[in-house]
């Protein structure tokens, strides 16, 4: 090669090896997960909510996402499992007294301390910056470090006293294995809630049908009792009529055919005096002429 200004390429320039995979900066990943909303990519600010998979969101962003019913809505994988506001839990976070936030020098010569976080564990005091595992309780939303839950084993919340179980503990920004376990639990809970709703609906329908059947039976029993009452009344009337007929017939028979000897009129009784006989209508003094007999004007037969 002459002095033409050219250069001889070296071996590493001619031989091209496999490209190096660019590694994601761990600090940047932690900051994105623990300081920014998973849905809107804005800074986390109260009220902060978490889903059943342990991801952090701003509550306003979740509400806007649920209210957006437009056709050009962008489906975000991080929020595809959120169907309603009931699928997220509002977190009860403990403020870090050493947190300064955006205060201080904003000219660009400020040192951002990544170790400092806005929230801490209320028991141990660890900062929620992603370097320590944090969990929250699904029943109440209180947030603790995993170390605190392991060191102080209890079945009630350290902060509010609400009881919880192991399945109610959800890891925040957990690993892939944690997310898979939480996803299975979420699906099981949703299936149980669906089956519970169906069973409640079926029970409600059964109670309605039973009540209608009871009403029908009551009405039929009332009709039957009314019929029985009418039949009883008619039977009583018939029995009363039969009794009256029998009584009248017996009276007629007794009047026609007296059992004892025929009674003699008092007027023909010679043992009684005339004064005593004059008391009765069979006496001759009680008999009246045609002029003295009653007519249609008189009130009674004995009116003169």
Residue in the structure block whose two tokens are 């690993």: 175
Helices (H), 257-293: 274-277
Give the predicted TM-score (pTM) of the model: 0.58
* Distance, CA of 129 to CA of 34 (rounded, Å): 6
What six digits make up the tokens of 187? 């699906």
Q: Which residues contact 186 (CB under 8 A, 6 or more apart)?
A: 52, 53, 81
Q: How far is CA 284 from CA 256, 267, 272, 280, in A?
A: 26, 8, 15, 9
Residue in the structure block whose two tokens are 């008189």: 298
Per-residue pLDDT 10s for the chain (304 aa) are 555 666 777 776 777 666 655 566 778 888 889 999 999 999 999 999 999 999 999 999 999 999 988 876 666 778 889 999 999 999 999 999 988 876 654 555 555 566 788 999 999 999 999 999 999 999 999 999 999 999 888 899 989 999 999 999 999 999 999 999 999 999 999 999 888 877 777 777 677 767 766 666 666 655 555 555 555 555 555 555 555 555 455 545 444 444 555 666 666 677 777 777 777 766 666 666 656 565 555 555 554 4
DSSP letter string over 52-66? TT--EEEHHHHHHHH
CA 88 to chain centre: 21
Residue 88: in which H helix or E strand, if any?
strand 88-90
What six digits make up the tokens of 196? 């519970």
Strands 56-58, 169-171: pairing is unpaired
Residue 90: in which H helix or E strand, if any?
strand 88-90
């Amino acid at each position: 090669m002459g002095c033409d200004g050219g250069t001889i390429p070296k071996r590493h320039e001619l031989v091209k090896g496999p490209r190096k995979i660019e590694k994601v900066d761990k600090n940047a990943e932690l900051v994105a997960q623990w300081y920014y909303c998973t849905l809107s990519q804005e800074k986390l600010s109260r009220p902060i909510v978490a889903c059943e998979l342990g991801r952090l969101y701003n509550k306003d962003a979740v509400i806007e996402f649920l209210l957006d019913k437009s056709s050009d809505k962008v489906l975000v994988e991080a929020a595809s499992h959120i169907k309603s506001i009931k699928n997220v839990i509002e977190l009860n976070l403990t403020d870090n007294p050493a947190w300064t936030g955006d205060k201080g020098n904003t000219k660009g010569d400020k040192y951002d301390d990544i170790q400092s976080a806005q929230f801490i564990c209320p028991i141990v005091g660890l900062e929620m910056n992603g370097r320590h595992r944090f969990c929250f309780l699904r029943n109440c939303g209180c947030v603790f470090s995993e170390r605190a839950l392991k060191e102080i084993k209890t079945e009630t919340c350290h902060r509010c006293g609400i009881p919880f179980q192991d399945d109610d503990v959800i890891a925040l920004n957990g690993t892939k294995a944690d997310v898979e376990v939480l996803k299975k639990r979420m699906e099981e809970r949703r299936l149980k809630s669906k089956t519970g709703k169906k069973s409640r609906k079926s029970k409600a329908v059964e109670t309605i049908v039973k009540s209608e059947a009871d009403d029908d039976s009551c009405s039929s029993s009332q009709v039957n009792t009314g019929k029985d009452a009418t039949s009883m009344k008619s039977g009583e009337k018939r029995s009363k009529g039969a009794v009256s007929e029998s009584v009248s017939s017996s009276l007629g028979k007794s009047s026609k055919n007296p059992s004892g000897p025929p009674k003699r009129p008092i007027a023909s009784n010679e043992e009684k005096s005339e004064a005593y006989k004059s008391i009765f209508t069979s006496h001759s003094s009680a008999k009246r002429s045609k002029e003295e007999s009653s007519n249609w004007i008189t009130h009674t037969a004995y009116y003169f």
